[in-house]
Structure formats: C-alpha cells, structure tokens
Structure 1
Amino acid sequence: MKISKKIATVLFTVFFTVLASAQDKKPLSPAASAYGKINEANINIIYSSPSVRGREIWGGLVPYGQVWRAGANAPTVFAVDREITVEGKKLPAGKYSFYIIPEEGNFTIIFGKDRSMSASKYDSSQDQLRITVKPKKKTNLTESLEYSVNSNNVTLTWEYLEIPISVK
C-alpha cells in the first residue's frame, strides 16, 4: 500500500502538532514553593498546587477525618534550617513531610520524619510533631492551593479557608 506524499505530509504535520500541544499543556497540579524567614529561621515549603475547579474541597475532595498530604502528587515538604516553635511546640531543624487531618472544627497538622510516605501509607510512628489549629473562613475564593511564610506564621490558603500556623 502506497501513501501519497500529500497524505504523508498531512499526517506528519498533525502528529507533530498534537505532540507539541501536549507538551505545552499546564499540569493540573503544578509544582510550587513558598520561602521566607521567621526570626532567623529559613523556611521552605515545596508542594504541588491543585485547583478547586468547581469542586467542594474541605469535606469533599479532602475528606474530614483522613490524613491528607497537604498538596497533590506527593507529600508536601516543609524544610527549616533552625529549630522553631510551632504553636508553642519545638520543631528541630530538618526536612519534614507535611500532612493535615481536617475536621469540621480544628485541623491537625503533622510534621513527619519520613518524607517518602504517601497519605495512603501514612505511619503515625514517624510523626515528629502534631499540633492543632483552627482554620479561618474567607469570603473570597482562592482557586489554587498556596502556602505563604509570613512574619509570624505559615499559612495554607485554599478554596474558602485559610489555615494559619503560628511560628516563632
């Protein structure tokens, strides 16, 4: 079977157009990071940032009462180069996996020693620190999950919630 030169050229063009457009697509949960200093401690948070895209997040996509990796694709990494105090409890310098267990009232924040764990293989014996915080409701939508390192806290903001975590 012989393919004409014109058909081969069209197929070649279509193939490479599709291939090029697939490479240009933005991932649904792109890699992101937040960096800042609180007192003398450098804090770096590395995560994947999912979007709301019309979904119910808290109690929906992120179920209440279950460990969530605080981002998409892999556990979020929380790195600090000096000991800090988080909600009144000491956290040594190091790199930690960062998890959240949301509840309708307070949220449990977990700093884990094993950064290779996924939420589905979470092991509480690897916890370095657990704290409880109260999320704040917001009136405006934050479409993509974002972390910020501020002068006295680290804040996770997504959908209609803000989760401030006191750091000294």
Structure 2
Amino acid sequence: MLTRLRPRLAGAVFLLAGAALPARAQRDSAAFVTTYGSDTVSVERWVRDGSRWEAAVLDRSPVALLRRYSVELNRSGRVQRFEERWHNAGDPTGAPTRTLVLEPAPGGWIGRITEYGSTREGMVAGDPAALPYRYREHWPLELAMSRVRPGAARTLPMLDRLEVIPVMLERGAGGEVRVVQERRAPYVARVDEAGNIQGVHIPMVPRDLVVTRAPWMEIDERARRWQAGQFRPLALGELSGGGVARANEFGGTAGPPRAAAPSRKREEAAVGGARIVVEYGKATLRGRESWGGAVPWGQVWSTGGGEPARLTTTRELVLGDPARRTLSLPPGEYTLQSIHEQGSGVLVVSRGTEELGRVPARRVQRVFAEDEFIVEVDPGAIRLIWGESEYVVPFTVR
C-alpha cells in the first residue's frame, strides 16, 4: 500500500497526442474495442517501439475520460518508468488533469501524483519488478504475455492502482489464457501463437464484456465526439437496456431516442468537520417493488435515476465497517453505484472511470415505506432508502 500518498488509481502509460507513428511502430501496434451488449464501452490502442510502450484508452463508463500511458523498459525487460495522464475527453490534446509517475526503488515504487496545481509524493510497497495492470484495460496483458510460455502458468507481480498485487496467467496450449486476480472474477483471453491477444470475455451481469482486437485507430476525434454527447457516458448497469440509444461505432444497431434525464436531488450534511454532498437522480416506485423489482438483484445500479450518484467530501472519509471491509476516500468527488441482494449489498465507489473499491452495505427493514428513492447522510452512516427497506453503509471522518 502507499505511504503518505492517498489517491488510488491504476498503472499505465502516456501516448503523445496526434504524433505520427514511424513505420516500425505502425507494424507493432494494435487496438482493442470493448462492447457490452450493443454498446461500445471503451476503445484502446497501443504501440511498442523497442523498449518503450505507449497506449491510450478512451472509456465511456461511468464518464467519458481519456487516459494516456507510457512505459519505459530496461534491457532486462523491467519497468524503469511508468506514467499515466488523465485528459478531458473534450480536449484530448490539452494539458492533463491528473498525472501519475511511478519509478522503481528499493522495496517498491516512488509515486508522484500531480493534480489541482500541486504534487504529492509517496512510496508504494511491493516488488519493484512489477508490470502494469488495469482491470478492463487489455494492452497491459499484451506486455505480460511475453513472460508466460504456452502450456505454462505464472503468477506475476503487477501494479493495480497504487499497490502491487499478484495476477496469475494460465496459458493453455490451445490459445486460451485464464487471468486470475484475487479481487475480481477470473476471465479468459484468447491469444495467437506469438501471445498477441485476439479477444477477451469478462463475465458481468447480465451480459459479458467482449473485447475484440482491431487495427490501429484514430482516438482524439472520437474522444471529442463522445464528450460532446454523441455517446452519452453511463454506468454499465444502464447500458444496453430497453429504450437506450445505442452507442456502438463498430456495428451496433440504433435504438429509440433516449428519454429526458431524470431531475437530480441533493443531500448535504456536516459530519465531524466534513461537508458531505450526495447528488443523485430522482426515482419513484409508482406501484413497483423497489429492491428486486425496479432495481434487479445482483445488477449494478446507478444509485438513483439516470447517471450515477456523485459524492463530494471536504475531508477524508473511511467507508465501511472496520470488522469487515473499509475504503479510504481523500477529499474530492466520487461516483457511487451499488449492487443489491436480498440480505445485503455493496456500494461501488469510483473516481473518473477507475473503480476504487466495493464496500459492504447492510439491509435494514423500515417501519414506513418510501415511494421515492432517498439518500440520507447521517453521522456515521450513508443510507439508501426505497420502499420498505434501506441499505446502510457506515463511515467515519478523519
């Protein structure tokens, strides 16, 4: 884990926007397109030129964001410098809004994050020989596949957000690679004889994410279109649903026009010196069941109508019960989604397109039913209230 540097995000690399690629780079480059049902979720492209890897990833869910990456390797193939830059999708060639630089050091990595005009530095403990890893991004797997022979399995140290984790790659003789990471469901990639990834299936509810290899593609103008609203950013739980306008540039079908976005509600509280604001979309039962009805069991929900809920805090929050699982959130803005089951649930917390973690929520019956969905922030608890029950996530302020 990181000492003194609290923001968490995944490792990756920087691509020079608009730069013409040399012929050699053109030959050793590719792109991946990720779809969820009929919707395009993300596009990514990468190029390998000797000891340098560069990549760019344009993600749509839950918000449109462009990340550019660069990895520099030494002669033995170890990472010497690792950089990630976040860009506003509407201004893909402009200055980054956030930059992460990681460089190996004895016992781990020195990390520097620059955002909002200031830079913070800290130490990431772990193997200094780790490779980049990012869930739902696939160019890092292409780099890692060079370490695994056909018919073999190997557990590699990999940089996921600001920590080093073990990721097992089990490469079968028939071209399938099973990817196992302790915090996620395993998934399967298909590779050719040279280890180049041809496709990926990631199990999701109610349908899988499907990744397809594609030729090198333009990405800056696509980012501008996505930000301009041609393909509205949405949570995965809202994508490919009934009545949703499709956002697939690669062969998807067009759906009916999208209904107007629901009005937003606002819950504001002062707790322990922190100003906490939650903004979320209005949702009403109108005779339906809430949990298990309007919100299906086991599916990712936007925690309100329309776009995902947003939480803003002026002080660090620690979400969750210390006896179960906690998640620390530095001051800033976050996206809240949720998954609900009959006895419990989880709050899914993201920043930009990066999922930071999942916090258990306890289901509690209510004396009085609520027809309208309500988020309440009480001292020590965030409550998601709808119908005859609510889901409670404890928190403390630091």
Instruction: Provide TM-score, normalisation by structure 1.
Output: 0.73
Residue identity opposite 2:263 in structure 1: P
- Which protein, 1 or 2, shows the higher relative CO under an 8 Å CA cutoff with sep ≥ 6? 1
Q: 1:92 maps to which residue?
A: 330
Q: Identity over the aligned pairs, expressed in percent?
A: 24
Aligned to 1:134, the other structure's residue is in SS state strand
Q: 1:111 maps to which residue?
A: 349
1:35-86: CA deviations, max 9, x gaps? 0022111110001121110011211121111100000011110111111111
1:117-139: CA deviations, max 9, x gaps? 6xxxxxxxx21121111110123
Aligned to 1:167, the other structure's residue is in SS state strand
Residue identity opposite 1:46 in structure 2: E
> Would you say 1:38 and 2:266 are equivalent positions?
no
Partners of 1:28 and 1:162 in 2: how far apart?
24
> Would you say 1:139 and 2:391 are equivalent positions?
no
Which of residues 146, 158, 161 in structure 1 aligns to 2:386?
158
Which of residues 266, 285, 288 in structure 2 aligns to 1:52?
285
Inter-CA distance 137–29: structure 2 relative to 1 (3 Å threshold): farther
Partners of 2:334 and 2:312 in 1: how far apart?
6
Residue identity opposite 1:134 in structure 2: R
1:28 CA displacement: 9.4
Residue identity opposite 1:72 in structure 2: G
Which of residues 309, 313, 330 in structure 2 aligns to 1:80?
313
Q: 2:45 maps to which residue?
A: none
CA contact (8 A) 2:301 2:337 kept: yes
Residue identity opposite 1:79 in structure 2: T
Residue identity opposite 1:142 in structure 2: E
Instruction: Provide TM-score, normalisation by structure 2.
Output: 0.32
Partners of 2:357 and 2:313 in 1: how far apart?
14
Partners of 1:51 and 1:145 in 2: how far apart?
6
Residue identity opposite 2:392 in structure 1: P
Q: 1:149 maps to which residue?
A: 377
Ranges in structure 2 where 5+ consecutive residues have no aligned partner: 1-259
CA contact (8 A) 1:155 1:163 kept: yes
Q: 1:62 maps to which residue?
A: 295
Residue identity opposite 1:137 in structure 2: Q
Aligned to 1:135, the other structure's residue is in SS state strand
The RMSD of aligned alpha carbons is 1.7
Partners of 1:61 and 1:162 in 2: how far apart?
14
CA contact (8 A) 2:343 2:362 kept: yes
Inter-CA distance 29–142: structure 2 relative to 1 (3 Å threshold): farther
Partners of 2:261 and 2:331 in 1: how far apart?
32
Ranges in structure 1 where 5+ consecutive residues have no aligned partner: 1-26, 118-125
Inter-CA distance 105–135: structure 2 relative to 1 (3 Å threshold): same
Partners of 1:63 and 1:141 in 2: how far apart?
19
Aligned length: 132
CA contact (8 A) 2:371 2:386 kept: yes
Q: 1:122 maps to which residue?
A: none
Which of residues 305, 330, 340 in structure 2 aligns to 1:102?
340
CA contact (8 A) 1:91 1:129 kept: no
CA contact (8 A) 1:28 1:51 kept: no
Q: 1:18 maps to which residue?
A: none
Q: Which moved more, 1:90-99 or 1:28-37?
A: 28-37
Aligned to 2:300, the other structure's residue is in SS state coil
